[in-house]
Amino acid sequence: MSEVLNHFLKYISYDTQSKDEMEAVPSTEKQKILAQELALELRAMKAEDVMVDDHGYVYATIPATTDKSIPVLGFVSHMDTSPAFSGAGVKPQIVKNYDGNDILLNKETGLTMKVSDFPYLLKYIGQDIITTDGTTLLGADDKAGVAEIMTMAEFLLSHPEVPHGKIRIGFTPDEEVGRGSDFFDVKGFGAEVAYTVDGGGLGELEYENFNAASAKVKVHGTSIHPGSSKGKMKNALLVAMEFHNMLPAFDNPMYTEGYEGFFHLDSMGGGVEEATMNYIIRDHSKGKFEEKKAFILRVEEYLNNRYGAGTVEVLLKDSYFNMKEKIEPHMYLIDIAKTAMEELEIEPMVTPIRGGTDGARLSYEGLPCPNICTGGYNYHGKFEFVPVQSMEKVVELLLKIVEKFTER
C-alpha cells in the first residue's frame, strides 16, 4: 500500500465535520482529535516547531537542508469536512484497475455512480479509485490534501540529502464553514508564500476565486386565524417566496459556470409569523459582486415599502474576496507549479475556483497562496472519489515544487 494511501485511509476514519452557525473555532471539538494525531505523526517524523494551538490549528517546520538563501515556503490544507453530508463512519472502497463501467457503491440500496453522470471517470481507466459506500462523503476534501502534505513531509524529513529551504506546514479547521483562516497565525507561520492543497482533479491550478458574501434574510409576518384573517394576516412565508422570486432567475448555480456568479438559496424555514432564508452570493467580478449585494438590498427596501417597515431584514456579511489581485504580483508561483506539472507529465489546468479556499483569505492577510489539486472529485456528497495514482502524483508534484523553488 502506498504511503499517501495509508495516510489518507487513516485520516478519513476521523469524523471532522464542521458545523455552521457556531461562534467557536473549531466549530466542533472532534476536529482537534485529528489535529493532535497529525501533531504526533509530525513529531515522530522529526519535524520541528510542531504545535496545536487552542483553536486546533496545526503548525510544523521541515528544516532547511541547505545554506542557500531561499524564501520560506508554506503548504496548507484543511482538516474538516463539509456540513452538507455526513463524514462519520466512512467506509471506503477501492475499485482496483477500474474498467470504465458504472461503479456499484452500495449493494443493499443499489446506489451506483454512473459514467453517464460523471464521464470524467473514464480518465482513470486502469487506475485504483477510492469511493464511499454511498452513506457518507469520502473526505478527500481535504484529507487528500492533508495526506499528500504529510507524505511529502515524511519523504523530505527522511531524506536530508535532498536540498531545500525551510518549509512550513499548516493544517486548519473550519474551512468548510468559511472560518479556516480566522485564527491562522500568518506572522507566526513565517512563510513568504504558500500553496493550499485543496483543489480537485489532477492538474488543477487556481489563483482566482469567487468574491463571497452571505445574506441572512428574516421576514416578520402576522399570524391570524385563517378564518378571520382578511386584511390582517401577513404571511411571512409568502413574503419570503416573493423575495426569492424577485432575484434574477438565471443567477442561480444550476445555470452558471466559469466566471458567472449567482445567488444561492442554501436553506429556508419558518411559518406565517416568521420565515428565514440563508443565501450565499458569489461573483468573480468585484463590480458584479457589489451589484449583487446592492440588488438584494433593493429587494429588501421594495418589500418593506410594500408590506411595512421592518417586514424584511437582510444581514449581509462578506466572507472572502478574489485572491487574483494578490497573486498577480507573485505569478512566479503559478509558473513554478505549471513547470513542475509539465515535467511530471501532468497537464496544467488553470481554472477559476467556483468557490473559495483558505488561501483566498490568507492572500489578503499577506501570505500569497494559490491553490493546487488534490486529485479528488464530487466533493461534499456520496459520489465523492479520488484515484490513488492521482494522490501519489500530487505528492510528486509537491516535491517537484519544492525542488523548483530551491533552484530559483
Active site residues: 80, 175
The length of the chain is 408
Contact, 259 vs 324, CB < 8 A? no
Contact, 262 vs 354, CB < 8 A? no
Kind plus residue range of the DSSP H or E element containing 312: strand 312-320
Q: Is 55 annotated as a binding residue?
A: no
Instruction: Say if residue 198 is preceded by a cis peptide, omega within 30 of 0.
Output: no
Query: For residue 241, which of 303, 187, 285, 163 has the smallest C-alpha distance?
Result: 303
Q: Is 335 annotated as a binding residue?
A: no
Q: In the structure grid, which three cell numbers stand for residue 12, read together?
A: 478519513
Q: In the structure grid, which three cell numbers stand for residue 172, read together?
A: 486548519
DSSP letters spanning 135-188: SS---HHHHHHHHHHHHHHHHHHH-TTS----EEEEEES-GGGT-TTTT--HHH
Q: What is the CA angle 7-8-14, rounded to 5?
A: 100
Exposed / middle / buried, residue 62 (Cβ in 10 Å: 0-12, 13-18, 19+): buried
d(CA 158, CA 379): 32
Q: Is 176 annotated as a binding residue?
A: yes
d(CA 232, CA 299): 23
Q: How far is the CA of 92 from the CAs of 75, 132, 133, 141, 385, in angstroms?
A: 26, 5, 7, 14, 9
Contact, 8 vs 374, CB < 8 A? no
d(CA 384, CA 407): 37
d(CA 193, CA 368): 5
CA dihedral angle for residue 167, residue 191, residue 393, residue 111, rounded to 10 degrees = 120
Contact, 275 vs 239, CB < 8 A? yes
Query: For residue 153, which of 172, 128, 170 has the smallest C-alpha distance?
Result: 170
Would you list which residues are annotated within the binding site for Zn(2+)? 78, 141, 176, 198, 380
